Amino acid sequence: MKRKSRTIAIVLGVLAVLLLWHQVFVMTGVLWWNAPAPAERLPGFAAIRLPRPDISLVDLDLYMSAHPEWRPQ
């Protein structure tokens, strides 16, 4: 009799785990028969092409004489 109740308890435990496992997939919506079609992959954007900045107004020799050592803040 003890063996029969143990078997019933194991079967009920396995069924409970399977039910909980099923509920997780139902709640997250990833059941394969309800899954949406795969998304279409769009091509990436083209790289941004920025014009080179005008640095003709910068006098590097004057800057380097005033700041002989570059120290970032």
Q: What is the pLDDT along the chain (73 residues), one digit of tens a residue?
A: 688 889 999 999 999 999 998 888 777 766 666 667 788 888 999 999 999 988 888 888 888 888 888 776 6
Distance CA 14, CA 40 (A): 39
Residue 67 pLDDT: 81
Q: Are 54 and 60 in contact (CB under 8 A)?
A: no
Residue 70 pLDDT: 73
Residue 20 pLDDT: 93
- In this structure, the chain runs to a length of 73
Q: Where are the domains of the chain?
A: 1-31
Residue 9 pLDDT: 93
Q: Identity (one letter) of the amino acid at 10?
A: I
